[in-house]
Amino acid sequence: MRLLFLTAETCPTFRADVAALFGKYLPRHGVYSDIVAGRTPGHDGSVHWAAGETLLCDISGGQAKKHVKTLLHGIRTLFKAGGARYQAIQVRDMPVLAAFGLAAARAKRLPFYYWMSFPMPEGQIDLARERGLSAGLMKFLFPWVSGRVGRFLLYRMVLHRADHVFVQSERMKEDMAALGVDPARMTPVLMGVDMEDIRLDDLPPADDARLEGKRVLAYLGTLDRPRRIEILFDMLARVRRQVPDALLVLIGDTADDVHRAWLRKQAAAAGVADAVLWTGWLPMKEGWRYVRAAEVALSPIPRGPLLDCGSPTKVPEYLALGVPVVCNDNPDQATVIGESGAGLCVPYTGEAFADAALALLGAKPEQAGPRASGAEYVKTQRSYERIAAMLAEVYKKCL
């Protein structure tokens, strides 16, 4: 089986549910894909994609140009692609392009699948609302307009006419069913971990002099507005009252320059600016080494319609790295911690996160069992090897 796979992520991508699931594990089950995407900025060489061909376009310029170029490239590819080469067309997280994908699939008499890892239209509208005019008129209007158009196309046409819809979680499946999408045509695909990549012997803790003598708490991921990272500064201030040498390591970044500057001001206002290490984006394995240097890993996913339907990667990833977790009560995170017993799940407030972090920092050596049980849980329940086998069976049934 070969998919024509159009995705919002640039290629090569750090997203494991694209790179590992589609690029590595599904081909082992006979499911190949030619990926259609924008070329990751700064990556000028060839792009390795073991699952098939890479059909990439240049997306240099601002965010609006990036989206327009990706859309136009996708439309051209959809209607130029030979139907005989593919058994299905699949679009991921691009509602407007999905409408064209649906039309192309019908014209070529191919099945059409939509992959929904996030409610993109709502995310765009929420981003515009959060930004307001602080970043300029166009940066407000573009996500607001694209979100409105995408919402109309996605919920009025694409999801109801797609041959199958892959959603991020059981919660998202319930949400889409409430909007009239047939549950029999939906399959939840939870986020997982590439256990072949996480070999702890090859991932020693980061050798960074700034970590020496510190009690490290680490967060790896986006610093975008919806994550409300500023709450971690309140947590850190509370933790440092009892553990003065606590250090918060933020492994990640945001593309929003205004928000990044605001976060730094919030750290200073909380009195912890000198106790926060901002690494920016790092190569994945280098980021993992910083997590390995931590005593506690943090996974904040604020509650609300946008993020409750997700399947966060961080908790399974942290557990696979052997680090106990403090996370909040996002439905999927609560399930992982409840089943693995490898961390603490609390409401996302500075006080609750601080209390949980202090409990783990004060744990005695003989209480470190969750590190092993967490890794074993991920291996048996959330590895991409296991997820790919399940997904390949779904594709076969769809065909």
- Parse the chain into domains and list their residue ranges: 2-192+383-398, 200-381
pLDDT digit string (tens) for 177-219?
Answer: 999 999 999 999 999 999 999 988 899 999 999 999 999 999 9
Let me know if the fold of 2-192+383-398 is the same as that of 200-381: yes
**CATH class of the region 2-192+383-398:** alpha beta
Domain 200-381 has CATH 3.40.50.2000: yes
What is the 3 state secondary structure string of 309-340?
CCCCCHHHHHHHCCCCEEEECCHHHHHHHHHH
The single-letter code of the amino acid at 119 is: P
Under-50 pLDDT residues of the chain: 364-372
Say what the pLDDT of residue 73 is.
97
Contact status, residue 382 vs residue 193, Cβ threshold 8 Å: yes
CA distances, 118 to each of 42, 51, 173, 307, 381 (Å)? 26, 24, 12, 8, 22
pTM of structure: 0.85
